[in-house]
Amino acid sequence: MTPQQDTQFMEQNLKAWRIMRLLTVYRIALALLLVALIYTGYLPEPLGESYPGLFLGAVFAYAVFAVLEIYPLLLRTPDFTWQVYVHTCVDILLFTLMMHASGGVSSGVGMLLVVSIANASMLLAGRLSVFFAALASLAVLGEQFYSQIHGTPSAYNYSMAGLLGLTLLVTSVLAAVLARQARENADLAHARGLDLANMSELTEQVISQMSTGVLVVDQQQHVRLINQAARRLLDAPSQSLGAPLQHFSVELNLQLHLWCDETIHQHEKRRIDTLPASLLVQIVRISSGGDSRKAGVLIFLEDAAVVEDQSQQLRLAALGRLTAGIAHEIRNPLSAIRHAGALLSESSHLPAEDQRLTDIIQDNTARVNRIVEDVLQLGNRDRISREALTLNHWLRHFLDELACIYPQVSDVVRLDDQSDGLIRVYFDSGHLHQILSNLCRNALDFAACSTDVPEVIVRLSGGGGRMTFIEVVNNGPPVAQQDRERLFEPFFTTTAKGTGLGLYLSRELAQANQCHLAHQQLQGYTCFRLSFSAQATLGETE
């Protein structure tokens, strides 16, 4: 038996015991009523007219039995099925004696058997209920047969006895059918209740885990449901359910009032400015069982900055694919122009003023070629081949390689290793090389504009439980305040020769490797920090 079936069986058992208690109360009340009528002298005719002593004895026996059955009912022993057997048999016996003492079936006492048989049919299933109905019918017929032998002709009536027996059988069958249907409906309701409870719990779990904020507000503008995302967006971590919406957000409450005042309720998203963030709000009307008086609203909240950032990422991704395709097509004719310009500059018959034009061609084709290469690198963001790198050794090798390309590096750039031991990270070496190449080239260009001796510092820090990061610091002119927020935007540059893609591409590659690139303006220095996340850091060795 499954746990669900076991629980269902226990609930049915409890219901049966509750019915038994009600029947016990009914028997005690009936017995006390008969005793009271006997002692007050108001016992109606023809009760007890034929055999008063027998009727009195049967009533007292029934009263004693009704009181004594409380004890096994409280102990629940024996099983309620056996108690039903005993109660039904006692009812048939004592009611038949009362009927005989009152003049037979015409006295009407036999109708009490109908109640007993109906009760037994509700508690018992199948043939047992019909068995007790047949037993009661035989008892009625037996009483008539006994009255015919030992009584007067007016004391028996087989036609009425037959009708009473038929009534008992029909009552048994109908009560059994109705009881079975009631049990089936109860089981179905129980199963549906479990399904609804499970669905409600599942819905609550889904809503609580949603990144979109969800609120349910009733007709009186009281909040009936709110998930954690909505509490975070509204900065309302402690407000209790049932509180007015204005306690959660005054701006959202005003927006709801404006929405309710509209003749036609639209479902489009609207932007409202709240603290701590701007929100996109969508309000949908919900009803309770079709009753408009109990209608409420469902409010969806989204962080406008996150939505705009996602939209910006999609636009940039589409722009990247477009520009990469264009750059690929530009590369071949650009190479031909550059080659033709180089051949033209080697001509001995070229005038001096035309030689200057060939130099302009070479400079600008070189610049366009650099833009093309940067654009093509945008397509490498999602092609990641990570490997374990020891940053201490890798940086030394990188700076040696950089010194071969830019001779001034040896005099300007120095490595500052502040790490505690060797630091190993999980990173795409090609991406890391490109990020640091961009940062170092920019640092060299700005350090060359310094009024002091140009200085570029590549600092490695981490280990010993500290966060791991690489900083590229230069003592060149600081970045203007109005330009700092746009440093990582594509195609934004502060120099005439820049493409505006270097820092944007560096940040994209850092994020693709689960790291973060940020700018800091220190006193007298400009710093770009590449921070390695816990997922990218493998550990350290001494």
**Residue where a domain terminates, one of 303, 326, 348:** 303
Regarding predicted confidence, which is higher, 307 or 436?
Answer: 436
Angle at 507 between CA 505 and CA 512, to 5 degrees: 95
Residues 72 and 118 occupy one common structural domain: yes
Which segments of 262-332 are extended strands (E)? 270-273, 278-288, 291-303
Task: Write out pLDDT tens, residues 485-502.
Answer: 888 887 777 776 666 778
- Residue that terminates a domain, selected from 256, 275, 303: 303
Q: Which of 74-83, 96-105, 273-282 has the lowest mean pLDDT?
A: 273-282
Say if 66 falls within a structural domain: yes
Check whether residue 314 and residue 371 sit in a common domain: yes
31 and 138 share a domain?
Answer: yes
Residue 306 has pLDDT above 80, yes or no: no
Q: Using an 8 Å Cβ cutoff, are 488 and 528 in contact?
A: no
DSSP string, 470-536: EEEEE-SPPPPGGGGGGTTSTT--SSTT--S-HHHHHHHHHHHTTEEEEEEEETTEEEEEEEEPTTT
Pairing of strands 270-273, 291-303: unpaired
Q: What is the mean pLDDT of residues 345-361?
A: 74
| Number of domain units in the chain | 4
262 and 117 share one domain: no
pLDDT tens digits for 24-80? 899 899 999 999 988 888 888 888 888 888 999 999 999 999 999 888 888 888 887
Structural domain boundaries, residue 488? 387-541
Do 327 and 415 lie in one domain? The reply is no
**What pLDDT band is residue 541 in, cutting at 50, 70 and 90?**
very low
Query: Is residue 426 packed enough to be buried (19+ CB in 10 Å), middle (13-18) or exposed (0-12)?
Result: middle
Q: How many angstroms separate the CA atoms of 244 and 246, rounded?
A: 5
> Is 200 part of any domain?
no
Percentage of residues of the chain with pLDDT beyond 70: 86
User: Is residue 331 domain-shared with residue 248, that is, in the same domain?
Assistant: no
Check residue 542 and give its pLDDT: 39
The CB density around residue 292, as the number of other CB atoms within 10 Å, is 9
411: DSSP letter:
H
CB-side neighbour CA atoms (13 Å) of 540: 16
Q: Is residue 201 part of a domain?
A: no
pLDDT value, residue 105? 86
287 plus 178 within the same structural domain: no
What does pTM read for this prediction? 0.45
The DSSP H or E segment spanning 246 is none
229-270 pLDDT, tens digit each: 888 888 888 888 888 888 888 888 888 888 887 766 667 788
CB 359 within 8 A of CB 383: no
Confidence of residue 320 (pLDDT cuts 50, 70, 90): low
Whose structure tokens read 């640092």?
443
